[in-house]
Amino acid sequence: MRHTLFPQLLLLLFFAVQPAVGDEDLTTTYREDAGRIIGAALTDEEGWEKLTYLTTVIGARLSGSEQLEQAIAWATETLQDEGFDNVSNQPVDVTHWVRGQESARVVAPIHRDLAILGLGRSVGTPVEGIEAPAVVVASFDELEALGRAAVEGKIVVYAVPWEGYGKTVRYRGDGASRAAALGAVAVLVRSATGRSIASPHTGALRYSDDAPRIPAAAITVEDAEWMQRLVNMGHELRLALSMDATTLPDAESANVVAEIRGSQYPEEVVVMGGHFDSWDVGQGAHDDGAGCIAAWQALRILQRLGLQPRRTLRLVLWTNEENGLAGGKAYREWVGERIDNHVAAIEMDGGAERPLGFGFGLNGVEPDSGDPTYESALEQLQAVGNLLAGIEAGQIFRGGGGAHIGPLVKSGVPGLGLKTVGEHYFDWHHTEADTLDKIDPQDFKRAVAMLAVMGYVLADMPGRLVSADSYGPLAAASP
């Protein structure tokens, strides 16, 4: 079998690094290094072993939990053992929300238990729980049309249609406060997913300052639609909800930082990574263990190959993305006035399905505006993407970034987010089903190759992707 696969691998690598006529010099300059990187990544097993350990032995890693701190300690020690430069923990205070016991049931017109997951940062119910009539709505407009007289003292059920994550997730984020402003005592929110197998999806909510804080939990797509049908048929719905959720004082945590120090311009940095925390359900495999380990292993591949770029390539495993974004904010504050030393920021936080390429964004620049700074950078990135064509992961999309690199991008740093086909990510997102078995090892290895090639070229190429002089007009206010 080894003799059969080896020629195929060589052929794959040959086509992966062949430039088309007219490609930028970056394609030609880095095709040999890219071939070595891709070959090493596709045959690497160490990264998969790390991801297996993280998800199987440590598991879910909610901010403030022992599991997250265990993961941070393990990563820090391993990175030190591997000989990376400047391995450190960057202190971050994080939200410490604890789910506790929770349950919900329909008590009229029939008795039926409901599968729920409390929303992150939700308050709990009174000890005795809440039992109240329910109103079912399909939109905020429908809720407002009902008015206080129809909502006060009731549990609001958001049985909203799936309109993609960006639109549907609004009800998870703002639904509790919108209902509380009309006197609701609790809310149950349809999970933000297009497909469900009786699995609720958790996630964070946002309480507004001008409404009472009421308990909020996610319910399954199936139950949301079932309750909507009951109401449409003229039945009066009554629910019971019990949640022990509580928010404790902020806990101490940390971003994990490690580097391959630059050989010529060590003060200039390409930073990449993912968020090390996850929700307290599942294993945090797609979201975002795979992104963290892929970025880590990308640096490991370069280290093993002896490829030291001109600029520093920095790994950051950010903490507290899921319910606070404290890690990304703390990193930006730490960078301070050195922000113009950041050449690029790369994040992988969209799961580890079959990868396609990278999305690219610049703060304050519409991707289709024809802005010359953006177009010049895009042309260079497309040349780097050519190096990944052989593994079908070289597309460069207009628009991109990530939650934890957001503060950097807002300050003018070019931002890239790894893109996948995204066929099933939201089937597993924030559920008990976000487990290692949902990840194809070959897709994961392609992501490692992508991050390694893109990170290395951006850190090593003679010029910068975007001139530091451009950061002034592009940058937002200081953090």
CA dihedral 64, 66, 69, 75 (to 10 degrees): -140
User: 239 has which bridge partners?
Assistant: 106, 132
CA-to-CA dists, residue 269 to 228, 325, 338, 344, 464, angstroms: 52, 21, 10, 7, 10
- Pairing status of strand 102-108 against strand 238-243: antiparallel
Name the 3-class secondary structure at 43: coil
Tokens 């079959």 belong to 354
Q: Mind spelling out the 3-state secondary structure of 419-446?
A: EECCCCHHHHCCCCCCCHHHCCHHHHHH
Within 10 angstroms of residue 18's Cβ, the number of other Cβ atoms is: 16
Name the residue type at position 352.
A
Name the 3-class secondary structure at 348: coil
Distance CA 222, CA 243 (A): 21
Angle at 37 between CA 436 and CA 262, to 5 degrees: 105
Distance CA 352, CA 347 (A): 12
Name the 3-class secondary structure at 53: helix
The interaxial angle of helices 66-81 and 290-305, nearest 10 deg, is: 10
321 flagged as catalytic: yes
Tokens 């495993």 belong to 317
412: left (phi over 0), alpha (psi -120 to 50) or beta: left
Choice among 259, 321, 322, 353 that is catalytic: 321
Distance CA 14, CA 26 (A): 17
Distance CA 333, CA 356 (A): 32
Q: What is the DSSP letter of 466?
A: S
Whether 323 contacts 120, CB under 8 Å: yes
Q: What is the DSSP letter of 476?
A: -
Query: Where in the sequence numbering do the catalytic residues fall?
Result: 321
